[in-house]
Amino acid sequence: MDLRVKRTTKSIKDAFFELRKKKSIEKISVKELSELAMINKATFYLHYKDIYDLSEKLEKRLINRIISDLRIKGYLRTRKDIYTLNDTLSRAIFSQWEEISVLYSGFETNRFIDHLEDRLKEYIFTTFPQFKNNPEDNIILSFLIQGSYHAHIRNSGYGEKVLRETTSQMFSRLTN
């Protein structure tokens, strides 16, 4: 990718994050974002259809990074790995927390975990196709992914280490 294009897209993304920290996506205009990014509106439209397209691409990039993190580290090679996924997934989410909390703030908080669950199941089903049509495995996966995430969100005051250890112990007991 051309260096100018990289700088432009970085400038757009940085401006979007700065605005998104202060206001909901509905209240961000292309004009405002372009001014903050120091580009003209036409340049913005060369890269994105609208603000929602930009947000969606950033969300997909974030989810792909988390999935890629799991893939690179070699997780999910055996059935048992699925039930110990909590710790790895927690680390991945905590490492991206600032970006998650900006992109999925307010009413959009639950969209993140729904998107992540969909992509994670897609990844798991490629390794374990038998899980796709097995109701028990599907329900357990949803419970592990959604439950872990919501336990972390609602109990974040206990700290990352306590949350990871407690939920890992719970899932270990649950799946034995």
92-116: per-residue pLDDT in tens? 888 888 899 899 887 777 889 999 9
Q: Which CATH class is domain 1-48?
A: mainly alpha
pLDDT band at residue 80 under the 50/70/90 scheme: low
Give the lowest-confidence range in 82-91, 92-101, 124-133, 143-152: 82-91
70 pLDDT more than 90: no
Confidence of residue 71 (pLDDT cuts 50, 70, 90): low
| Residues recorded for the chain | 176
pLDDT higher than 80, residue 170: no
Least confident piece of the model among 6-20, 52-66, 155-169: 155-169
* Packed helices 160-175 and 135-154: angle between N→C axes, nearest 10 degrees: 160
Q: Which two tokens stand for residue 45?
A: 């439209």
pLDDT for the residue numbered 19: 96
Residue 95 to residue 102: CA distance in whole angstroms = 14
| Every domain of the chain and the residues it spans | 1-48, 59-175
Q: Which residue has the higher pLDDT, 144 or 174?
A: 144
**H-run or E-run covering 174:** helix 160-175
